[in-house]
Amino acid sequence: MLPTLEEVIVGSLMGRSSDDFNAEYREYKKKLERYKRKERRSTNGKVLVEIAYWSGRVEVLGRFVARSRRGIPPYYNPVQLRPEFKEVYFSW
Protein backbone atom coordinates (compact mmCIF):
# COMPACT_ATOMS: atom_id res chain seq x y z
CA MET A 1 0.00 0.00 0.00
CA LEU A 2 2.90 2.35 0.64
CA PRO A 3 3.96 2.68 -3.02
CA THR A 4 0.42 3.70 -3.97
CA LEU A 5 0.20 6.13 -1.10
CA GLU A 6 3.48 7.66 -2.24
CA GLU A 7 2.17 7.89 -5.84
CA VAL A 8 -0.96 9.67 -4.62
CA ILE A 9 0.94 12.16 -2.48
CA VAL A 10 3.59 12.94 -5.11
CA GLY A 11 1.04 13.02 -7.93
CA SER A 12 -1.21 15.45 -6.11
CA LEU A 13 1.75 17.67 -5.21
CA MET A 14 2.88 17.66 -8.84
CA GLY A 15 -0.57 18.85 -9.99
CA ARG A 16 -2.07 15.63 -11.28
CA SER A 17 -5.78 16.04 -12.04
CA SER A 18 -8.59 14.23 -10.27
CA ASP A 19 -9.64 12.78 -13.64
CA ASP A 20 -6.23 11.08 -13.88
CA PHE A 21 -6.66 9.58 -10.41
CA ASN A 22 -10.21 8.43 -11.24
CA ALA A 23 -9.04 6.77 -14.47
CA GLU A 24 -6.20 5.04 -12.66
CA TYR A 25 -8.61 3.86 -9.94
CA ARG A 26 -10.94 2.32 -12.53
CA GLU A 27 -7.97 0.63 -14.22
CA TYR A 28 -6.78 -0.83 -10.90
CA LYS A 29 -10.26 -2.13 -10.10
CA LYS A 30 -10.44 -3.87 -13.49
CA LYS A 31 -7.06 -5.52 -12.90
CA LEU A 32 -8.12 -6.65 -9.44
CA GLU A 33 -11.34 -8.17 -10.77
CA ARG A 34 -9.39 -9.93 -13.52
CA TYR A 35 -7.06 -11.52 -10.95
CA LYS A 36 -10.00 -12.51 -8.74
CA ARG A 37 -11.57 -14.32 -11.70
CA LYS A 38 -8.23 -16.08 -12.34
CA GLU A 39 -7.99 -17.07 -8.67
CA ARG A 40 -11.19 -19.11 -8.87
CA ARG A 41 -9.69 -21.47 -11.44
CA SER A 42 -6.00 -21.25 -10.58
CA THR A 43 -3.81 -23.35 -8.33
CA ASN A 44 -0.90 -20.95 -8.72
CA GLY A 45 0.04 -18.96 -5.61
CA LYS A 46 1.24 -16.05 -7.71
CA VAL A 47 -2.37 -15.06 -8.37
CA LEU A 48 -2.94 -14.60 -4.63
CA VAL A 49 0.07 -12.30 -4.43
CA GLU A 50 -1.30 -10.25 -7.32
CA ILE A 51 -4.70 -10.03 -5.62
CA ALA A 52 -3.03 -8.76 -2.44
CA TYR A 53 -0.98 -6.23 -4.42
CA TRP A 54 -3.90 -4.83 -6.42
CA SER A 55 -6.25 -4.88 -3.41
CA GLY A 56 -3.88 -2.56 -1.58
CA ARG A 57 -3.62 -0.23 -4.55
CA VAL A 58 -7.40 -0.13 -5.00
CA GLU A 59 -7.93 0.49 -1.27
CA VAL A 60 -5.56 3.47 -1.12
CA LEU A 61 -6.56 5.06 -4.41
CA GLY A 62 -10.27 4.46 -3.73
CA ARG A 63 -10.05 6.30 -0.43
CA PHE A 64 -8.22 9.18 -2.08
CA VAL A 65 -10.71 9.46 -4.95
CA ALA A 66 -13.63 9.33 -2.49
CA ARG A 67 -11.86 11.92 -0.33
CA SER A 68 -12.24 9.61 2.65
CA ARG A 69 -10.55 10.70 5.86
CA ARG A 70 -10.79 7.25 7.43
CA GLY A 71 -7.59 5.38 8.19
CA ILE A 72 -6.08 2.95 5.72
CA PRO A 73 -6.16 -0.68 6.92
CA PRO A 74 -2.64 -1.76 7.89
CA TYR A 75 -3.25 -5.53 7.53
CA TYR A 76 -4.26 -7.87 4.74
CA ASN A 77 -6.66 -10.76 5.36
CA PRO A 78 -5.26 -13.72 3.40
CA VAL A 79 -8.47 -15.72 3.77
CA GLN A 80 -10.97 -13.12 2.57
CA LEU A 81 -8.41 -11.46 0.26
CA ARG A 82 -8.98 -7.88 1.38
CA PRO A 83 -7.35 -5.19 3.55
CA GLU A 84 -8.45 -5.11 7.22
CA PHE A 85 -7.89 -3.10 10.38
CA LYS A 86 -7.31 -6.18 12.56
CA GLU A 87 -4.52 -8.66 12.12
CA VAL A 88 -5.81 -12.10 11.17
CA TYR A 89 -4.18 -15.27 12.45
CA PHE A 90 -4.83 -18.54 10.68
CA SER A 91 -3.22 -21.83 9.82
CA TRP A 92 -3.47 -23.76 6.59
| pLDDT in the model for residue 9 | 92
Could you give the number of structural domains in the chain? 1
Please report, in tens digits, the pLDDT of each residue of the chain (92 residues total): 778 889 999 999 999 999 999 999 999 999 999 998 888 787 777 888 888 889 889 989 998 999 988 887 777 777 777 788 877 666 55
pLDDT value of position 19? 95
What confidence score (pLDDT) does residue 90 get? 61
pLDDT at 92: 55
The crossing angle, in degrees rounded to 10, of helices 45-65 and 2-13 is 30
**Residue 81 buriedness (CB in 10 A; 0-12 / 13-18 / 19+):** middle
Is 91 contained in some domain?
no
Asked if residue 31 belongs to a domain, the reply is yes
Specify if 80 maps to a domain: yes
Report yes or no on 14 lying in a domain. no
Domain boundaries, position 60 = 2-7+25-84
